[in-house]
Structure 1
Amino acid sequence: MTSEPGFSGRTGGRVPNWIAYDRKVLGFSGYFREEVPNSALETWRVRRVAIRYYMENDTVEIVEIREANSGLPQGTLLKRHNALQDSGAPLRWPDLRVGGSVSLYRRTYFITATDAATRAFYAERGVEQPPDEALPEGPFDQRRKAQDAAAAAARARPPTRGGVPGSTSTAAPGGGPPLPHDAVDDLYMEPRGPNAVFELCPTRREVEMETRDNAVLRFLASWDNTAVTFGEVLCFSLFYHVADGTVEVREVARRNSGRDPFPLLLARGRLPKTLPPVFGRPMSPRSRAALQLQYYDWRDLKLGAKINCYGRPLLLYDCDEATRVWLRRHVPGIEEADLQPIAVDFDPNGPKRPPLAIPPHTSGFGSEEDSLRNVLHLVPRPPPRHYSDYLENWNKVLRFEARMVPLGPGRPLVGPHDSDRRFILSFHLLDRTLSIWEPRRDNSGMEDGRTFLERTKVPNPAAPGGASFGETDMQVGAVLEVFGRGFQLLDADAYTLRYEEKECARFPWADYDKVLAKLQAWLALYPDQLPERLSADLLAAGSADGSGYIAKHKLYSLLSALGSDLSPHEVITLCRQLGADRQGLLASQLLVALGLMEPPEPAPEPQHHEVAAHHQPPPPAVPFPAPALQEPAAAASAPAPPAARVAWAPHPSAPAARAPPAAPPPPDTYRGLGPAPGHPRVDPPPVPYHHQGTGGSFAPHHAWTDDRQHARDTFDRPGSATSGASGGGKSVGGSIHSGLHQPASLWQTTNTAIGGVNHAGSYRKR
């Protein structure tokens, strides 16, 4: 039983076909038979078609399947429309069946096959399509198939190493493709009749000629004619056709050579090695055979060889890659030295012109990309920009704290006060530009902060070709040379650290697994000394104040003293992954992750409580270690807090713990990975951060809580990611501190570079 198309199966009505069967197409394959009158080869022909039935509006389209070299105007035979059968009834989907036929506009189409989706559609409606049928073959198809099989067999046969039965070609001595022969009936037959002036070419080609068809060797040759007055060194292209051994030489015209174009030096034909003394008289094939002339073939063509082209010695100095492949495959005993190009000086007597150098960017108009784009063009053209990069990176800025450092011996700081200066270095991912801002500091002699470097691209002296700094150069601890000044990156804001951890494939120093594996590989260098020394130093550093907590700057100093090559950014990655406040970690946490200590007793299993209808969130947790929250009297009477418990399991790649295995814990203890409720590993809530509250100092790894959230790190509002374009003081969106004043000129440059001035929502006033 078939269901009507468009029926929804509900009692409320039916869904229209243009909704229920949107983009639903039934596909069939078939053919129609066409009579061919006035032909001695065939009387009828089979033409294959594809029938497409569109369910959304019951339209049909018939397209003829294209066939190579058929000589027929193939393509769309019946445009998509509501077709009527010859009986007058409209064509519907039940009328299309494999093995059946439909008659449209006095032409009968036979359906032979359908696809799997169409069969499933019919099966859902209780109609099974018969199996596919084979297409019939007409006289033209049978004759074409026989020709294609013969051609494929000839192409599949590799070039012979000797004579082929039925061929008059001679085999090459030592192997290789057969050489073209010089018999009288090779290419031409004798003229017929006493007054014949034409020569007839044979229409049947030999087996080797069919096998080596389309194989052409292309060489570059030079002709040194400087021995004569005003002689030059000219360049030619030599083409050798392997099928018949003919050679064609064409001149390669050079720019501004002052010579009239004369492209063809030698028309395609056999090239004799010696010039016969014919005194300008033409020679017939029999006369050439009587002289027993030797012709050039593929054995004589290699780089460095000289070809005598009717008195002009041509030096073969280069060839294309296809020619090298052919020579390696078919020429026995060829060496790579015979395929190496040879340098040729085409202007030996002229002055040596230096290569064109791109002038430096000193005009002051536009950027360096504009100069590189327009130095070779008369009409200025803008540099290309990628719109996808603009959509992805228009609001992404990596910000770092930096200080001035000397660049090495002989390159000290400009003044002694430069070592105390601190800067905010911003790297814009949109156009790979840098901007440096010097914030206000007490007793520095500056009333407000100032712009040290406007937003611009900074070339990297260590990069080849003078490339500018990229995002992969931004790493805490790296030293950047910015126009002769050295800046060392001391720390980064929370957004920058999260961005690099998210894109850890490009930033390996932000990949926790790689950093931990690097630290384990360093410990494996001296397994008898380093693990014990590291454990002792970490526990001693953590027990200095009794909390076991080690700040990130102190951890970096400790690892550096032991000889570790971890960078400051890699130490920050460890602290952000293992530490509670992401500014440091417990010594036991790092030792457990390295497999040097057994995990302490795990935290108790969490208790689940029912959530009320109006649930109030708990008070925010304080960073670890937590201070006392009771009153002094209550704290004195309260029992002593238990020892610190670490709920972190060792890393999967860490070695086994060096301590002997402890007794298994009770079965009801908590064994999950990560902190349990109530554990100190709880991130603090978003709290605004004020630079003035930290003593006005940006010391390395000191007094900087980068785990706070700012408007710059939230993308809910368009105006929270960029800064102002005009006006007075603006608040920085996403800077390291929020109490910073920026001048309007810096943000005008920033907003103009990303697409416009006075962009709506691009700044917010204080």
Structure 2
Amino acid sequence: MRYPRITPAWLKHEKQVLRFYGFFQESIPERWDENSRYRHVYIMYFMEDGTIGINEPKVENSGIAQGTFLKRSRVLNEDGIPVGPDDMRVGQDLTLHGRTYHISGCDRFTRWFFEENGIQLGEDEDVPTDLWQKGYRLAKAFDRGGVPLTRAAVEDKAIQRAMGGIPPIDKKLSQFLLNDRKVLRFKGYWDDHTPYGSRVYFIIHYYLADNTVEINEAHCRNSGRAKWPVFMKRAPLRKSNFVNAAPGMLSCEAPRYLPEDLKVGESIHAWGRKVVLWDCDDFTRSFYKEYLGIDQAQGRIDVAEKPLTHAKLMPPPHTGVGKEEDSLLNCSMIQPTPPKIDLERMMKLTGEVLRFECKMINGEPEDELRRLVIAYYPADGDVAVFEVPVRNSGHMGGKFADKRRIKNPDTGLPFQLCDFYVGKVVTIAAQPLQITRADERCLQFLEARPKQFPYADPKACAKKLLPLDENPELSSDGGVHPDRLKELAQEAGISIVDHEIVTLLRRFGVPGEKESDQPKIIGQDALFFAKNTA
């Protein structure tokens, strides 16, 4: 089907209707039980020709002629302009032929149409109910049997049965027959504030068959309490308990606890004890939701106890006699056993000694010439320090610190192999010692284990020089001086230590032109090695 370029309204909006829901108030002067009535209508705007039709839904036994309220036609407003969609909004009044209608809602198509055109109609309003509608619904409910009988009607029926020879109905029996095996189950607790008292948890059963209550204690395993759980045997639970002055004295009994008195989050009094209800089961929740309209889940209380945190006693400080591992076992065992030894490490590394030469940098002039050797034993992690005798230094050579596990003041842990490298300052016996060099056996040992000691890995050290690839001093064939290489690395923001310089010298170094000259590092070889190794 071919459409014209400009589609007319009767073709573009064919069979499209904007439907609004509204009502108007009509006075009723002839009746004593009502003075007005709300009449609900459907206002339909036909977009194909701009006409309006109003229909009133038929209500049974209303006594009013209902149906078509306004035939489909064009309606003019007070200014003589045809009424259009712009005059209809949810929540506003619309006057047609002298009668005012209040628009309370619309259908989904109407709301979609206005939203597509950028117009918000507003939310639908609640429809008011007049006195006649309330009475009509109540009468219908009486006819269907949905409303319980009044007390007078029930008593009249009982009298009529008694006059006819039928015995009266027992209320307790009927309650038992309707609610047998229906039990409300609550969880509660009682805080016993007496000396040596604690929190006691209960399972509370409320029997709907006869309005009796049973309270059982809920003990955890190894609680130390008696095995029998009965706290209160099944019986009526009253809101207050008292004892008369004389036996047999008549007095008014306190009211019982009923289902509407038991709410999660509140408390009840059971023989002088305040029991807080903190949860209930699923059947109890559904019972209260269906019959009483109470949501028991909202009042649930979290009774999870916070985990106890015990202060850990730290072992006393080591006295310095013997090894710390032996002394620590005396604090944790009554009959201490020798500490475990890593036999594999001991078998492989026994006899290995890594020696680092160092100097004392405490700022004292008399200690500037002192030279010491730090010996690290990888078999057991012990450290010993020996002083090299220097002539006319005023200090005797020999043992500076005996062989033992020495703690690093910076970390609080015993010294490890990674704590010793050329250029590092370590504190032993309260003296700062700067490592200046290591012997050949020590360097070979470290280079054989690059994963444990990355400062001795030529690959890792060479990769640090990659940011200096375009530096002309590294590209020279004669090499670069180690001190100058360290300066270039610092200018480029590269962190490099003296031990890494030693590693580069051992791998990529060449001797100087003269015997007195220091060796240099071939930067081209180091960069090529770093680029071509994974």
Which of the pair is proportionally richer in strand? 2
Pair in the same fold by TM > 0.5? no
| TM-score bucket (shorter structure) | 0.3 to 0.5
TM-score, normalised via structure 2 length: 0.45
TM-score, normalised via structure 1 length: 0.32
